[in-house]
Structures are given as C-alpha cells and as structure tokens.
Amino acid sequence: MKKVVWFVLVFTLFGCSGNGEKFDGVFEGRPRVNPPYVVGNYPGTEFIFAIPTSGERPMTWTVEGLPEGLTLNEKTGIIRGVVKEAGDYGVKITAKNAHGSQVSELQIRIGKELALTPVMGWNSWNTFGQHLTEALIIETAEALIANGMRDLGYNYINIDDLWQLKERGADGHIVIDSTKFPRGIKYVADYLHERGFRLGIYSDASKYTCAGVCGSLGYEEVDARDFAEWGVDLLKYDYCGAPASRDTAIVRYRKMGEALRATDRSIIYNICEWGRRKPWEWAKEVGGHYWRTTEDIRDAWDLRESGTGLYGIMDIIDVNGELADYAGPGFWNDPDMLVVGIFGNSSSINSGKVQYGCTLKEYRTHMSMWCMMAAPLLSGNDVRNMPDSVLNILTNPEIIAINQDQLGIQGKMVKKEGDCEIWIKPLYKGEVALAVMNRGEQAEKVEVPLQLAGFVNKALVRDVWLHRDLGEYESLKLDLEPHVTVVLRLTQH
Ligand code: GLA
C-alpha cells in the first residue's frame, strides 16, 4: 500500500516570519547572489546590471569572463558598458563580505532578445497616478536601494502616464511637463543608471494617452529616438483613444516596435491594450516583450460579484492563468502591476462603489501567484514608506527565485478541489514549484499527492514562505485558511 505522510500546516497571519528557520534579511549574513542568472541585451547598446546580492555590507564583487566592452565596479557590483559582438557569455561572479563569499554564474546573452526573465521593478501609476515628479522617482530609487529591493532584482523604475504635456511642441517633439520634471527625463535616467537601475517611460498609440496627454501616433520614430536619447530602457505603450480593430492595433504596435528597435538602446516593449485583441497571439511579432492580458488591476481580492466589471486579483488570475502556453523567455503575459501594500490608498486605480484594499494574506497570495505565473513584478506601492510586513512579501528571495527561474515556464493550474487550486511551475534542473491557493471563504483541508508535480517517489519539500525544509513526502495534507496560498519548492530526493 502506498505510504502517505500527512502533514498539516496551520497559517497565522505573521506565522511566516515567526515560525520559520532563522532567515537572514537582505543586508544580513553571507553574500547570496540573487536571480536573474540570465540577462539579454542587444549588441552595440548600453548594458546596465547591478548584480542583485543579499548579505551584510560592505560587500565587494569580482567577475571572470566578462565580455569585452563591459566593466564591473567592484565596490557597487554594477556592470556597465557596450558589447559589440553577439554571443553567449558565461560570467563567474564572486561576492565577498565579512562573513564569507559566494560564487555564482551569470549568462550574458548579447543577441536579439531582452527580458529573458520577467521584468522586475516599480511603476508610478498604481499609487501615485498624476502625482508624479522627479522627486518621487529619485526618492523611490533611493528607497529601493535602502530597503534592499534593488538587491532582490527590482531594477526597472517606470514612469507611467502624465509625465508629458497635452499638446506636442511646435518642433514636433513631446513636451516634458517641466513642473514635474524640471531637469528633464535624461537627468532622471542618468541618475538611475549610475545606481544600476533602468528607466521605463509611457506613451500611447493614439493622439492622447489614457489620462489625456500627448501620445505617439504619427510620431513613433521621433518619440522612440527621443526616448533613446534620454536613456530610456523600457516603453509601456497604451491604447486609449485608438480604434477597436485588431488589425489597426497590430499596425500601430508594429510601427512603434520597429521604431524602438531602430534606436541604439535595448528598450523593452510593453504592449498595453488590456488583452482585448488577444495580443498573446501577435505581440511577439510586433516586437513586444510582454503584454497586458486583462483590464487594469484594482486593489481588491475578487470583484466578480461586484457587478462593476472591474478586475481584482482573483479575476485577473482566471484570465491570465489560461494563457501559460504563450509565455517563455523574452515574452511574457502581463497580468498587470502589483497592488501589494497599497491597502486602498490609491486615487488612480480605485474608483466606483467597491471596498478597496486587501489583507496581508491576500497580498501574499497575489505575490505568490504572480510568481507562479512568471509575471512581470512591478511593485506599485509607496516603497518610501511601507511596513516590514509588506517589504517581507516583496523581498522574499525564495518566491522571487520561482518568478525569475531561467526556464521561464508560466505555471498552470493542474487540479481544483472545492475552492482550492493546485498550481505547478516546472523549474530549472528538475525542481518544481507547487502552489495551493484557497480562494474561498472557509478553511480547507487539501491532500496534495506530489505525483501531480511529476514525482514518482518522495520529493524533498521546502516551504518558501516559512523558509523551512519540511522533509520528504509522497503526499501532503495542507490546512489552508481562507485566501491563503502555500508555495512549496520540490526537489527529487
Ligand atoms: C491605462 C493602463 C494603466 C495606466 C493608465 C494610465 O488604464 O492600463 O496601467 O497606465 O492607463 O492612464
């Protein structure tokens, strides 16, 4: 008879930190080089990469095998330069501090592809909307450095809508709103690049953006060149005010995709037409690296029964979860930016008669599932000012490692039992991430045979929120509170 080992996990709100094994914070202990372990860049364009490393400071880094054209600053761990020759370069990184050293491998792929793992960073829209300024961007960058998020891989800082004036200038260029960005966008880009960040910006495939300021239709080349000259590294390209037709969308997105590709920078291209024209079927061909699959996310758990037609976390998972086969290294489904830690404090994404804000457990489920779905991780909260409970969700290195796994497979739901869903994401070197999400309002007991994840015998099981090895199992029985998600990392025994 098959031996079943029963294991019960009972979660309390703060149980994840309190019950776990001792777990070093971002700036404690030995060096740990975090993912991504594979990065792409176009030949002949600027490469900027802050080696994401946890551990006590001061820290120093050394590298072997850097391609010609790149240099490492050994005190900051930032690699910069331009590589002319396409190729795959294996780089050996050693990070060292008072507690010891760690060696890690980084693949630098100079070629046709970017975003070999999902983009990580921060975007201004979800909390700040129109309240967007140079000071906010600079303070956000400093906060991401001080709180350790940059060292966990959050390295794109994305300016969303409303950095520009409504009307295009007489010279044919977009006019930067100088009350918000008095020193221009290039000043901000330079500031970020020196600190190992990359800068994202926003425009729209029609005359005006969603918030009613200048878009790029008819000026794609001019704008793409301006963005590149300023040092922009990513464009989110929206679709407000544009015709519904899919053919038109493809033409308009292709035009900007080609314009970006013709610049001398590696610019990641985010297609944002909210999934209405099935962009997963055509976004890659027009130069896109990731594409929104749904309407805008709201800071809410589940809005299906609200009658508003708005999308909360669960509503988005239901759509994005079906599209796993379209994702892979360089090309990702985008279930929209994170609402982790917003707690209802947003004027831009919360409208209508809905109760906004989620609990910590719900935000942890949100983070878990975005990682299982290999989604871009763009935090949207005020990172200058957040409680540790929120920071712990955003900076859990083990859940981020699942998101940033180099196989780049989007996880899928493999079983549903009542309100509990079991999701599987295959990882590099035969490991598997398994998540069990209780989306219902009652506590649930679920048995999870690890055969579901392809393990014939026992697997070694680690809980990535408890930071604890649980042992070897053939099957687990989990006790899940409402809205909680357990995420396990499984390794062949
Ligand atoms: C659209 C996008 C959002 C945000 C706003 C800005 O709604 O989907 O993510 O960029 O526009 O106006």
User: What one-letter code names the amino acid at 117?
Assistant: T
pLDDT over 90 at 13, yes or no: no
pLDDT in tens, 427-463: 999 999 999 999 999 999 999 999 999 999 899 999 9
**Residue of 190, 296, 419, 479 marked catalytic:** 296
Residue with CA at minimum distance from ligand 1 atom 5:
210
User: What would you report as the CA-atom Rg of the chain, rounded to the nearest whole angstrom?
Assistant: 22
Is 296 catalytic? The answer is: yes
Residue with tokens 């357990």: 486
Model confidence at 3, in pLDDT bands (50, 70, 90)?
very low
Q: How far is the CA of 177 from the centre of ligand 1 (A)?
A: 18
Instruction: Give the per-residue pLDDT at 10.
Output: 39
Spell out the domains of the chain, with CATH numbers in brackets. 8-22+411-492 (2.60.40.1180), 32-110 (2.60.40.10), 120-403 (3.20.20.70)
Question: What average pLDDT does the segment 50-73 reach?
Answer: 98
What is the Å distance from ligand 1's center to 341 Cα? 19
pLDDT band at 493 (very low <50, low <70, confident <90, very high): confident
What are 217-234's pLDDT values in tens digits?
Answer: 999 999 999 999 999 999
Cβ atoms within 10 Å of 90's Cβ, excluding its own: 11
Residue of minimum CA distance from atom 3 in ligand 1: 296
pLDDT confidence of 22, banded at 50, 70, 90?
low
Q: What is the DSSP string of 203-261?
A: EESSSB-TTSSB--TT-HHHHHHHHHHHT--EEEEE-TTS-S-HHHHHHHHHHHHHHHH
Chain position carrying tokens 């949100």: 366
Bridge-based pairing state of the strands 234-238 and 268-272: parallel
- Does residue 425 surpass a pLDDT of 60? yes
Quick one: which of 313, 304, 323 has its CA closest to 409? 323
Q: Nearest C-alpha to atom 11 of ligand 1 is from which residue?
A: 210
Which atom of ligand 1 lies nearest, measured to the CA of 209? 12
Predicted confidence (pLDDT) per residue in 355-373, tens digit: 899 999 999 999 999 999 9
- Position 309 pLDDT exceeds 50: yes
Q: Is the C-alpha dihedral spanning 222, 227, 233, 234 positive or negative?
A: negative
Residue 9: pLDDT band by 50, 70, 90 thresholds?
Answer: very low
Q: Which pairing describes strands 78-82 and 32-33: parallel, antiparallel, or unpaired?
A: unpaired
Mean pLDDT of 70-77: 98
Q: What is the pLDDT of residue 4?
A: 39
For residue 350, what pLDDT band results from cuts at 50, 70 and 90?
A: confident
Best residue for ligand 1 mutational test, from 127, 237, 272, 276 (most atoms within 8 Å of Cβ): 272
pLDDT at position 14 is 35
Q: Which residues line ligand 1 (CB under 6 A)?
A: 125, 160-161, 209-211, 238, 272, 274, 296
User: 65: which residues sit within 8 A by CB, 6+ positions away?
Assistant: 89, 90, 91, 92
* pLDDT number for residue 353: 78
Burial 267-281 (b: 16+ CB within 10 A, else e): bbbbbbbbbebebbe
Q: How confident is the model at residue 406 (pLDDT cuts 50, 70, 90)?
A: very high
